Amino acid sequence: MGNWYLGHTARELEKLDALTGYWVSNSARSGVSEKHYRRIWDYHLAQKLFYHLPFTNLEEEMRWVNLPFYERWITRQTVPEGTNVVQGPMGSCEALFRLAEQSGRKVLKVFDAPNSHPTNLVGYWQRECDLYASGYRVPMCLAARSRINRELEQADLILCPSNFVRDTMVLNGIPAEKCFISHFGVDTSIFVPRKELPPVPTFVSVGSICLRKGHQYLFRAFEEVRRQLPDARLICVGGVRPDFKQEWKRWEGSFEHHLSLSHPEIAKLLASATAFVLSSVEEGFARVLSEAMACALPVIATYETGATTVIRDGREGFIVPARNIPALTEAMLSAAANRDQNLEMGRRARGRGVQYLGGLRQTAV
């Protein structure tokens, strides 16, 4: 998983003298000491070729196909003495949970859910592919979904980053008492409040450009916004995913695009915007929501982004129905039309963000 995700958590736990092991397949130790860090070489070597190939979809598919190499490594390990909690991300828990059970000790098994229940994740995403990417199949095989379902049953606690993720778990029969919400935080030393509104309406969206994140609806809504506000700008940051190639032919060049930006660059971009927009049809909790709030931006987002966990409709921004182009258009126009409302929403977003999301170090713990 990304260095910012598990890495920060492991480092902060180690500072509290609460870490007994940090097992990952990437090379980044994230500041964790050598005595706790173990690299899952079997899986890393099986995946290595696909990290370097230019076919993104193939790399995603092989993540699941190569999981037996991960399992083979795990089964040779021993749960460190003193461990009473094991935690793994979606799809990587089954062997770890089995190892914990075999230890003969009472160990809490935590399933970390960065996305919604696999039934929703695949179903919502595939629906968009059927509509906007004819012939494209979501790169999560049946075996992977089966594995995740088994992990959810085995888990004692499911760590959900948002209300949306928790709700999909409960909808699919997972007991509500197993689900605990812990959303992502933000580094407030980098993401600071904007000082003023830009001279022209400027909307920013950060995240891979793909059907799952709803760019097919964002671009259509922005087309409507431009009819009423010809000088409006839309700036998107993120690579174009394979499922969006058919749509990309239509929209390329109709907005400003950055393939990738550093965190300080994203912070600067957010601080120069009118509003942040995220129109996902399936998400866990988009970390950039926290970042936009820290920059005192009104947020326009769907429930499926996880936004309702921290944002109240009409207070810190606008919660719009997923796939609803008129509602998305209206929210963007409203954010641009009323300067005082925009600034007040931004102030509330910043205040609520600091209160509920805190700094990165606090939420990692």
Instruction: Quote the pTM value.
Output: 0.92
Name the maximum alpha-carbon separation found in the chain: 67
Taking the C-alpha atoms of residue 156 and residue 179, their distance in angstroms, rounded to an integer, is: 9
- pLDDT higher than 90, residue 62: no
Q: What is the pLDDT of residue 51?
A: 77
CATH number for the domain running over 3-181: 3.40.50
- Cα gap 236→318, rounded to integer Å: 19
| Nearest CA among 275, 215, 270 for reference residue 240 | 215
Q: Which has more pLDDT, 31 or 167?
A: 167
The DSSP secondary structure of 43-81, one letter per residue, reads HHHHHHHHHHSS-HHHHHHHHHHTHHHHHHHHHT--PPT
Q: Which pLDDT value is given to residue 58?
A: 82
Indicate the pairing of strand 37-39 with strand 85-89.
Answer: unpaired
To which residue do tokens 């598919």 refer? 61
- Looking at residue 27, its pLDDT comes to 74
Block residue for tokens 């190892």: 99
pLDDT of 326 higher than 80: yes
- Residue 216 has a pLDDT of 98
Q: Please, which pLDDT band fits residue 357 given cuts at 50, 70 and 90?
A: low
Out of 61-75, 291-305, 336-350, least confident range: 61-75
- With beta carbons less than 8 A apart as the criterion, state whether 293 and 316 touch: yes
Mean pLDDT, rounded, of the chain: 92
What tokens were used for 208? 């891979």
Tokens 């999981």 belong to residue: 67
- Report the amino acid identity of residue 310: V
- Average pLDDT of span 165-192: 93
* Rounded percentage of the chain residues whose pLDDT exceeds 90: 80
Mean pLDDT within 86-95: 94
Q: How far apart are the first and last CA of the chain?
A: 18
- Indicate the burial class of 149 (C-beta count within 10 angstroms; 0-12, 13-18, 19 or more): middle
**Residues 33-61, mean pLDDT to the nearest whole number:** 85
Phi and psi angles of residue 302, each rounded to the nearest 5 degrees, phi first = -95, 160
Residue 297 has pLDDT above 70, yes or no: yes
Return the bridge partners of 275, or none.
Answer: 203
The CATH fold assigned to 202-364 is: Rossmann fold (3.40.50)
Tell me whether domains 3-181 and 202-364 share a fold: yes
- Reply yes or no on whether the pLDDT at 167 is more than 80: yes
70 near 91, Cβ under 8 Å?
Answer: no
Residue 134 is predicted with a pLDDT of: 93
Q: Which region among 82-96, 305-319, 346-360 has the lowest average model confidence (pLDDT)?
A: 346-360
pLDDT reported for residue 356: 64
Per-domain residue ranges of the chain: 3-181, 202-364
- What's residue 354's pLDDT? 74
CA 46/CA 202 separation, integer angstroms:
44
Rounded CA separation 352/290 (Å):
10
